[in-house]
Amino acid sequence: MQEAEKIWMNGALVDWADARVHVLSHGLHYGSSVFEGIRAYATDRGAAVFRLEDHLARLERSAATYYMPVPFPREELRRAVHQVIAANGLGSCYIRPIVLRGYGVMGLFPLEAPVDVAIAAWEWGAYLGEEGLRSGIRAKVASWRRIGNNTIPATAKAGGQYLNSILAKIETHKAGYEEAILLNEQGYVADGSGENIFVVRDGRLVTPPLQSSILEGITRATVMELAADEGLEVVERDIARAELYAADEVFVTGTAAEVCPLNEIDDHPLGPPGPITRRLQDRFFAVTEGRDPRFAHWLDHAPSAAAA
């Protein structure tokens, strides 16, 4: 990974190498952490964090699901995000806040463990590759099913649940594919290992509903709004596996992955990225890079030096 200089930890900036937790931290043993992935983009007015408020709200909801109090108010975390970007001299970057059960208690009852909060930021280019963004990637349906909603709630972005994605990712990587698609316990399409998924057919967008064991993706919500703005119909419904093969276009969305076309699924070619994927991808980057004034409210600009 591309290291930066400073990480915000429990209220102060520390050197990158000093942002440590104890090896007996609860979060490390039991996956009891919640986190966010956020991106900032370089704009004409400096770095702008995309939908920061929405990400911090989701972080609070994720923590609340696990009865974990976040020991800092949202406004302080918002300032901390800007502080980390500024302290590291970053423009376009990926931001990773994490709230974890810390050191002090062992065993599964976690409520007495302290809660630690850290925010790191670093340069992270195209998650699925620049070439992937341009030409699409090859994906395969994993044999591992997405964790059911009554096993671990998909709506909370918790560390432990990613073991499921990691199994799917390794399996499909070893098979020679660039991304895994997971079906849920009912056998319908859920999502990618770290992305939501959209299918385009006859000019309409279809995406799995929240109850199908997916994360309530912020990029998903963004794309749904941009699609509506483009006059495109978006339907949330169960998607059968074979519908992926019959689709006109398929793409995935995520903070890390952005809007990335798939060009092949289970060795069924989908062809080069289609016009609707392209249009939404172009709109997405125009919005995140501050080139679309109508969606400027999604950009959280660093406070100016004078105001800080």
Active site residues: 157
102 sits near ligand PPE (criterion: CB under 6 A): no
Longest dimension (CA), the chain: 56
Per-residue contact flags (x/-) with ligand PPE for residues 4 to 23, judged by CB under 6 A: --------------------
Interface residue with ligand PPE among 195, 205, 224, 273 (CB under 6 A) is 195
Q: Please say which residue, 26 or 157, places its beta carbon nearer to ligand PPE.
A: 157
Inter-CA distances, 127 with 1, 49, 66, 114, 160, Å: 12, 17, 28, 33, 21
Q: Please say which residue, 64 or 308, places its beta carbon nearer to ligand PPE.
A: 64
Rounded least distance, CB 37 to ligand PPE, Å: 2
Within residues 223-242, the interface with ligand PPE by CB under 6 A covers: none
215 sits near ligand PPE (criterion: CB under 6 A): yes
The count of residues interacting with ligand PPE (CB under 6 A) is 16
Interface residue with ligand PPE among 60, 179, 191, 249 (CB under 6 A) is 191
62 sits near ligand PPE (criterion: CB under 6 A): no
Within residues 133-172, the interface with ligand PPE by CB under 6 A covers: 165
Q: Please say which residue, 27 or 194, places its beta carbon nearer to ligand PPE.
A: 194
User: CA torsion angle for 83, 84, 86, 88 (degrees, to 10)?
Assistant: 150
Rounded least distance, CB 34 to ligand PPE, Å: 12
219 sits near ligand PPE (criterion: CB under 6 A): yes
Span of 42-50, 249-257, 263-271, 298-306 interacting with ligand PPE by CB under 6 A: 249-257
Following DSSP, what letter does each residue of the chain receive, concatenated?
A: ----SEEEETTEEEEGGG----TT-HHHHH--EEE--EEEEEETTEEEEETHHHHHHHHHHHHHHTT---SS-HHHHHHHHHHHHHHTT-SSEEEEEEEEE-SS--SS--TTS-EEEEEEEE----TT-HHHHHH-EEEEE-SSPPPPTTTS-TTS-BSTTHHHHHHHHHHHHHTT-SEEEEE-TTSBEEEESSSEEEEEETTEEEE--GGGT----HHHHHHHHHHHHTT--EEE---BHHHHHH-SEEEEEETTTEEEEEEEETTEE--S--HHHHHHHHHHHHHHTT--GGGGGGEEEPPPTTT-
Q: Please say which residue, 147 or 200, places its beta carbon nearer to ligand PPE.
A: 147
Rounded least distance, CB 38 to ligand PPE, Å: 7
What value, to the nearest 5°, has the Cα angle with vertex 102 and ends 36 and 120? 35
Interface residue with ligand PPE among 31, 97, 136, 217 (CB under 6 A) is 217
Span of 100-108, 137-145, 252-260, 294-302 interacting with ligand PPE by CB under 6 A: 252-260
254 sits near ligand PPE (criterion: CB under 6 A): yes
218 sits near ligand PPE (criterion: CB under 6 A): yes
Q: Please say which residue, 103 or 145, places its beta carbon nearer to ligand PPE.
A: 145
In the structure encoding, which two tokens stand for residue 242, read together? 């074979």
Rounded least distance, CB 96 to ligand PPE, Å: 8
Chain contacts with ligand PPE (rule: CB under 6 A): 37, 165, 191, 194-196, 215, 217-220, 253-257
